[in-house]
Chain A
Amino acid sequence: MPVVLIVEDEPDVAETYNLWLADEYEVRMAQSGDEGLAELDETVDVVLLDRMMPGLSGDEALERIRERGLDCRVAMVTAVEPDFDILEMGFDAYLCKPIRSEQLHETVENLLKRSQYDDLLQEYYSLVEKQATLEATKSTAELADNEAYVDLRDRVDNLETDLGDTLGGIDDDEDFIATLRGLSDVEE
């Protein structure tokens, strides 16, 4: 079961999200940014991060999460429509309060699909690299008879199809930027 961490200082609100999500996800809850960071480990898939909290703010918490290099997806939960470019800030998605159950489910599902896309893309890359190694060391005739190579080509083709089917390829700006953000470790 995918793990969702809810970081929200209002207990009633957090409990509502929990009730909505608990059937499909393992839900963890934290009441502040600091507590959220303590709860966070590599098993967490999606973080719902309230922007306005006493103590560590949502923005600061996000920064710490990125610093730790965890590949979880972070959705910001905010009371006001953000007047800044959400993509520039490093969030993967945002939700405006009050949130409806359906919206919350959609957002979490989309973020999980992005992680799935990243995993597929990583697998695709490693197979392409193996294929290139074989191609560099063997002749075309040798390759045609090489079962491992033929099998590899099939898997590369299948993965291409899977990638095209996940997120509908990448036809959304937020999906596009969020995917690129995961690609390199260059300081921004």
Chain B
Amino acid sequence: MSRSSDTEAVYDLTDVLEFDALESVRSGSNILVSGPAMSGKEDLALSLLADGASDGQGTLAVTTGDSAMNVIDDVLERAPDGGPSTVSAVDCRGDGSRRGEATESGSYVYHVSSPGDLTGIGIGITECLEYLHNNGADSGRFALTSLSTMLTYTDRKAVFKFCHVLSSRFDSAGYLGVFTIDSSAHDDQTLQVIKQAFDGMIEIRDNDSRREARVLGLAGQPSDWREF
């Protein structure tokens, strides 16, 4: 697969979140979505996937909580123009051993035995990318929900390295990566270390039942908090 320097696709995320810094995000960028429990991180990650799916971009979700089928259905519901054959998911909830299969509607699902099985997740990602590529998607968006669950199965050193290696992989695949983390579930130092594996961050918070976000590290100064 060619490296990003040859292609240089950019992703416009402003239909989902209106920030200047999200207008042209370089392909191969990895973004951390950080916020406390129940602040809408997963919802935002799915919206970002669906936004790409409706443009015909490849979609790859790694899920530790929801079933792969739920995630795929959710993305396709939000992106009525998206085709099932360029949507895929790696299911890490641990329902049996590693295996991949096309679904009836033509999406692809790979099962991994646990959120701590980093090799299995890697094989799943490789198979999904190949499936998407064979169905005509040469760029796309990736989301992993959530790093917090992975951190309960394996240590932060492994998770940090995992994120870094994935970021290199997406750089050459021309993908955009989005990873969620529950900021209320980890100590400051862990968050600080994990952050370092990313190109930028979207922080979200609940402010009097209004959802607010700000963008850090992608372009220019950190943005102000804004409702979304």
Contact A132 B193 (CB under 8 A): yes
- Of the candidates A87, A129, A135, the one having the most CB atoms from chain B within 10 angstroms of its own CB is A129
8 Å CB interface, B153-170 against A:
153-155, 157-158, 160-162, 164-165, 168-169
Contact A125 B161 (CB under 8 A): yes
Contact A169 B189 (CB under 8 A): no
How far apart sit A169 and B162, CA to CA, in the bound complex (Å)?
Answer: 14
Pick the contact of A133: B116, B120, B162, B189 (CB < 8 A): B189
Contact A168 B172 (CB under 8 A): yes
Q: Which residue of chain A lies nearest to B3 when distances are taken between CB atoms in the complex?
A: A171
8 Å CB interface, B179-228 against A:
188-189, 192-193, 196-197
Q: Mask for B69-106, Cβ within 8 A of A = 1, else 0? A: 00000000000000000000000000000100000000
**A181 contacts the other chain (Cβ, under 8 Å)?**
yes
Q: Which residue of chain A lies nearest to B156 when distances are taken between CB atoms in the complex?
A: A129
Contact A131 B158 (CB under 8 A): no
Residue count of chain B within 8 Å CB distance of chain A: 34
**A163 contacts the other chain (Cβ, under 8 Å)?**
yes
CB distance from B184 to the nearest CB of A (A): 17
Residues in A neighbouring B122, C-beta threshold 8 A: 176-177, 180-181
Known: A136-B188, A170-B172. A186 touches B154 (CB 8 A): yes
Residues in B neighbouring A170, C-beta threshold 8 A: 165, 168-169, 172
Residues in B neighbouring A139, C-beta threshold 8 A: none
Q: Which residue of chain A lies nearest to B120 when distances are taken between CB atoms in the complex?
A: A188
8 Å CB interface, A174-188 against B:
176-177, 179-181, 183-184, 186, 188
**B57 contacts the other chain (Cβ, under 8 Å)?**
no
CB distance from A168 to the nearest CB of B (A): 7
Residues in B neighbouring A136, C-beta threshold 8 A: 188-189, 192
Contact A125 B168 (CB under 8 A): no
Q: Mask for A107-142, Cβ within 8 A of B = 1, else 0? A: 000000000000001001100110111011000000
Residues in B neighbouring A88, C-beta threshold 8 A: 98, 123
CB distance from B44 to the nearest CB of A (A): 25
**A82 contacts the other chain (Cβ, under 8 Å)?**
no
**B18 contacts the other chain (Cβ, under 8 Å)?**
no
Q: Is the interface of A mostly helix, strand, loop or mixed?
A: helix
Q: Mask for A46-75, Cβ within 8 A of B = 1, else 0? A: 000000000000000000000000000000
Contact B196 A131 (CB under 8 A): yes
Contact A180 B160 (CB under 8 A): no
Q: Which residue of chain B lies nearest to A156 when distances are taken between CB atoms in the complex?
A: B196
**A2 contacts the other chain (Cβ, under 8 Å)?**
no
Known: A132-B189, A132-B193. A186 touches B161 (CB 8 A): no
Pick the contact of A125: B113, B121, B153, B157 (CB < 8 A): B157
**B134 contacts the other chain (Cβ, under 8 Å)?**
no
Contact A129 B193 (CB under 8 A): yes
Known: A129-B193, A136-B188, A169-B3. A183 touches B169 (CB 8 A): no
Which residues on B are within 8 Å of A, measured CB to CB?
1, 3, 98, 113-114, 116-123, 126, 153-155, 157-158, 160-162, 164-165, 168-169, 171-172, 188-189, 192-193, 196-197
**3 A-B pairs closest in CB distance:** A171-B172, A132-B192, A180-B122
- Name 8 interchain pairs, CB-CB below 8 A, sorted by A: A88-B123, A131-B196, A171-B1, A176-B169, A180-B162, A181-B119, A183-B118, A184-B158
